A and B are shown apart, each in its own frame.
Chain A
Amino acid sequence: MVIAGLGLRRWGLGALATLLALGPIACPSYAQEISRDRADARVQRPVWANDLTGYWVSLITEDWRLRMLTPAKGDYVGIPLTAAAARVADAWNPARDAAGGQQCRSYGAAAIMFRPEELRIGWEDNEATLSVSVDAGMQTRLLHFGGTVPVSFQPTWQGYSSATWVARTTPGFVQSPPEAQYLHVITTHMLPGYLRQNGIPYSAQAVLTEDFDLVSVQGEQPYLTDTTTVADPLYLEYPLVLSPIFEKQPGAAGWDPAPCSSTW
């Protein structure tokens, strides 16, 4: 046999061991690719994360009258509200809210992304926090990467948002590259507020889950979609799922901060 003639039988095991030991060194690109992929899956974020920064404007192409205007009292269309929620909504009194300093109730995290508005998105804290400022109601959301809700955190309109990058690939299959990840945010610790301007409530038990996607169109400004799911055991029969769209803006020309209003 040729192999036997080369003496492989005699030192074959040694050669195989050498091959296995030196393989990753001798084939650096393949080895690095494997290790890089594994590392990326844990810590890297997609390149498009940097494209999130800047100004974004709402595109109000759906639910127009429910978003652009304050609907009439008793207009609950599309909301799977419970009987308890209907009782609260039927008692909606915007003048009382204004007098009581509660005019930001429809600007809380569970509802604010659905309003007509501009967003100003930027990184903070050495890129560990994504800041989402909203001109409508002059609110700011902070999306925290890593860590948990501080024990001392007190509920606010915007609550506490924990953010992660989630691989899109079906579990059990190959790990997707960072670009295929989406931004997943869970928000808790919200003050009770309104899902719509006309007093449809969400409670302090509500949990907001969001999945952000960035979509590029060649030669045009990108779009950002925010698939929002509000679950509230007290006021919703089942989770409310909506998906507002934002279009990136070249600058701050449309940024128009306005305080909260309970009537408009």
Chain B
Amino acid sequence: MKRNLLILYLLGTACIGLAGFPDPARSQPSTAVDLSGNWSADNATDEGMDAPDEPLPGNWAGIPLNASGRALALSYDSAQLAEPYLGLQCGYPPVYMMLGPFGLRISNLTENNNGTTVAWRIGGWVDRGPITIWMDGRAEPSAYAPHPRNGFATGEWVNGMLIAHVSHMPAGIAKRNGAPLSDRATMTLWFSRHGETLTVLARIVDPVYLSQPFLLTRVFLHYVSAPQSAVGEPCVMAYEGVAPDAVPFYLPGQNPLRNVVPETYGIPFSAELAGAASMYPAFRKVLRNEYRRPASCQNELKYQTFPDRACGGPGKYPLRGPGGTTD
């Protein structure tokens, strides 16, 4: 009898012990994936292709701008970038990660004693601040808290994807040609690693300038052959040539660049300002009778710094890997 009791006792103790052992699948988020390293931007989509130039002025089709957003976009003059008071000289808000041509440098900040990941950090580049995605469950700051250049972000792991919730961003851009975002905009990012490829989906919500969520994706490639360069020269905001009495905005109806897209690509101007409707396939029925396909691609775009890239061609897009835009 004593022997049986002892066996039961030992079995019970063992069960408790097994339950108490740190289960490797539970001691950290079971679906966490290592994202750390250097990731080269694969600039095959239009935002990357536009690098290093700005997207064409007026090219706002596919962006769910509301009436306020369209009005502000039409007033945009790229000389605004030189205005220190707008704060864009030294970097765009985190949304720029989805718009610019740069890669990602991702690292995790660990807690000293137990090594758990407290935050993921996405390195910044010359015109983009670093983003810190806090994983320690801290609360979002007050709505009245400052909106720093890199915003505030918290993260969680869901089904093997890192989800980052970004808020408290300064007013910025939905595209580098004047499509605006307000300082009330928020962004959710999904980081999904497929082996050596990292797909990032962004869902941007802005109650001021967007009528519905704006979604973007970027693809990054794991890049191990060379470390990416650091942030670069320190940025100091300074006078860049805008005359003291000049105001780099266009009044309603006076933007001289509003016909650039129609003249270059045959796209009706109404399509550029169609907002959310232009995001959906059904909009092609509107376009069908209005689109005039140019006879050939126009390569000499006078407002572009690198016009030879406007139409692409063999060897014209070394935008990834060695020699590409990896830093």
Contact = CB atoms under 8 A, between A and B. Distances in A.
Same complex for A and B? Answer yes
Contacts of B321: 238
B312 interface: yes
Among A48, A65, A66, residue most surrounded by chain B Cβ atoms (within 10 Å): A65
A62 B297 contact: no
Contacts of B61: 64-65, 68
A179 B159 contact: yes
Interface stretch (B10-18, B77-85, B109-117, B123-131): B10-18
A61 B199 contact: no
B138 interface: no
Contacts, number: 234
Interface in B185-207: 188, 190, 192-195, 197, 199, 201, 203
Contacts of A128: none
Contacts of A211: 192, 194, 197, 199
A202 interface: no
Contacts of A225: 192, 199, 201, 217
A182 B198 CA distance: 13
Interface stretch (B40-48, B139-147, B234-242): B40-48
A170 interface: yes
Nearest to A115: B281
A133 interface: no
A66 B188 CA distance: 26
A180 B43 CA distance: 27
Given A215-B161, A238-B321, A73 B312 contact: no
B31 A176 contact: yes
Q: What is the interface residue range for chain A against chain B?
A: 35 or more
A244 to B, nearest CB: 8
Contacts of B25: 37, 174-175
Interface of B: 2-3, 6-7, 10-11, 14-15, 18-19, 24-25, 30-34, 42-49, 59, 61-63, 159-161, 188, 190, 192-195, 197, 199, 201, 203, 214-219, 221, 265-267, 278-284, 287-288, 291, 293-298, 309-317, 320-321
9 contacts: A26-B11, A58-B281, A60-B283, A76-B313, A78-B43, A169-B31, A169-B33, A176-B31, A184-B194
